[in-house]
Structure 1
Amino acid sequence: MKYTIKNDMYLDILNVLKSQNVNLPSKLKFWVRNTFRLVQIGLCELIYTTKNNLPLIAHEKIYECHIAGGHSGRDKTSAEICWHTAISYSIFINMCDVCQARRSFPKATSGKPIISIGFLTRLQVDLIDMRSMKHDGFNFIVHAKDHFTKFSWLFALPSKEAHHVTLHLRNIFYTFGTPKILQSDNGKEFVVNIILNLKLNWPDLIITNGRPRHPQSQGLVERANAVVQNMLGKWLETNKSLDWPQGLLQKKTPYEMFFGQLVRNDHDFWLKIHQQPINKTIIDEKDLPESLADNFN
């Protein structure tokens, strides 16, 4: 039994079940009436199979959910489709005595976990090798990640030499301050070279060289690297481009936790701007209607 179909077919089945006149073969109408039933849930009309009592879903709807999940795989696509149902299931299962009696609990991780108490307490730095996709002289990505907020910075590098990494880290430190601990799984010598390069222009700088290959922290930036590579690959495919340095501008980061406010992306404001009869690529503030100009005061 097929449970996903094209949207056009879905609409044809819906019209047949609603007894509307549709120009379809009699055999198809007979099959529809014997295979599906119409279910009214509030104002929504849904099609269910009569055999297994499962809802019918159009391919286009699944694809929309996949896009909404950021091409992030099965689980996030499923979450876009059935998030409310999943929550209901979890509540039901958690209240089931039989399930709870046989529930397995994860084993505690051995060793003392790393706890960061604030932003830039610990900054982890790692390199992603992009030499197989060299573009405009760039061969590596330096990935700096704050352990507390999980905020990431990504920069394209021509090589993995410490002075290239230092250049970008210095800009971060001048803007946000220096971390107490700088850590990298590339080894203590790699971090030492970075710190020494920073001290050339910042003699009084003091940064602790974090332990490399720490079992409680190693996985954080490595998992983040995998996410970066996965999302970057999808960006390249979607945009039909090989310019991966351009794709490093992140779409999503823990912005609110980092800056203490929501991202400045006023959708309603830009929608109103788009609806204005202003035939210009660049819009001057003086050309804005008074109702919109008040947003800046």
Structure 2
Amino acid sequence: MLPDASDKAVEKVPGSDTSGVKLSVTRERVIAAQHEDRSLQKCIAAAVSAEKARERKTAYFMENGLLMRKWCSDVADGAEWTSVYQIVIPSCYRQQVLTLAHDHDLSGHLGIKKTYYRVLRHFFWPRLKTDVTRFCRTCRVCQITGKPNQVIPCAPLVPIPAVGEPFEHVIVDCVGPLPKSKAGNQFLLTIMCTATRFPEAIPLRKITAPVVTRALVKFFSTFGLPKVVQSDQGTNFLSKIFTQVLSSLNISHRIASAYHAESQGALERFHQTLKSMLRKYCMETSKEWDEGVPLLLFAIRETVQESLGFSPAELVFGHTVRGPLKMLKEDLMSSGASPSLNVLDYVSKFRERLHKACSVAKESLEVAQRKMKRLFDRKSVQRSFNEGDQVLVLLPMVGSALSARFSGPYEVVRKLSNTDYVIGTPDRKRKTRVCHVNMLKTFYCREGIQSDVSPTEETAVHLSSPAPASVACAAVEISNPDDDDDGVIVRHTYQQCARLKNSEVAVTGGSVVSGAEDEGQSGD
């Protein structure tokens, strides 16, 4: 029962200050509000005597002027001992009840179903399920922290286009810090051609913008100038010197989504392979890791890529490079001097072989990408946002690059593609950033429950950490608003608050080379 008029004001439970709820309500006020609430008029008209209510499974009745409802759970087939007598709450007090049921320190921010049944054991009103669903879904704390074992569904896969010309489109990234070698190297500048998957890894002592730029220009002097250089949002890649050099060479700079390694999936996969090979190399030879980089790069370049059907070296150089296995084969098949070719015949056959190899590799890559996309998209969901929408963004926590949490709400500034959005982050060092849709989720602003009777000053509910009043948030759409039948498991079709997987930490045990976190981003 709600406190009587003669009762003293309910004192706050120690430690409940964060709830910010003022409980000052009396029985007389509830009775008066019930009769003034237009949403309860049908319930009042349907009220029966207390004796008749006991004979029914569900019924409204009056108890000393207070509208109540008898309800029996279906769990025990409507047995009388399972009967629950609920106070029917008028509109002006519903927000207060929901706040106690979900936001209070003793409520624990539980989910929709648990909160619904918690309220149902004591109170009821029409559209209770809808109001509980909306209230929990718009809880700021729950939206930011997420719920256990819930992951936002990934957007459909967008494979990196299979470009025909070698080194027309390259991806660059930085890896480290690795264990410091005798030469002082702690980082790797990694480069990969998207058409041939030809990799390069350059050991560096540091990865400042001038050092990275010089190393990249040296790479260009060997393989030519690309049309596109793709990088993440690391400060060295976004620096003025880096962008000026690319601009002076007429190279387009493409920036990947922040904290979304999948945007550079081919290069990230190469990182995993190279780190694993470096650990094994150091363990077997007891040499410095940077001494093994050229040898391991040869092994990777010589190996056939399943998605291409050729090795990267074949697609770049037009022939199988001479490695240990080819040397053994030549020794076993050697029967004298090999027939010589004149320069014209060699060049003609070389160009024909290289052209065919690149064409077949491109077709094979497209087939592999279609297969990968078909498998990946089985559980994907196409989500989109509009400019001005309020969203929560999964961003690294300050001081912990390996942990992440939802921050916000922030505003969508611009839509770049179906998967990339420019998000305004005015409270962070970087005021705007490009974010992948998999790192975003809609922020729902909590609004007061619509009431037919304006709540009195004493019954106003004060919520802790309210959303800024100036923020225009998306309206919450809840299907199936009819709530005549209660005691049934909630089956509304809505997207629950979810969380994304935090950044994965590379576990290396006692290996010589630690799992390296990709560098180049400054956190904030």
**TM-score normalised according to structure 2 size:** 0.29
Higher helix share: 1
Q: Which has the higher contact order (CA 8 A, sep 6+)?
A: 2
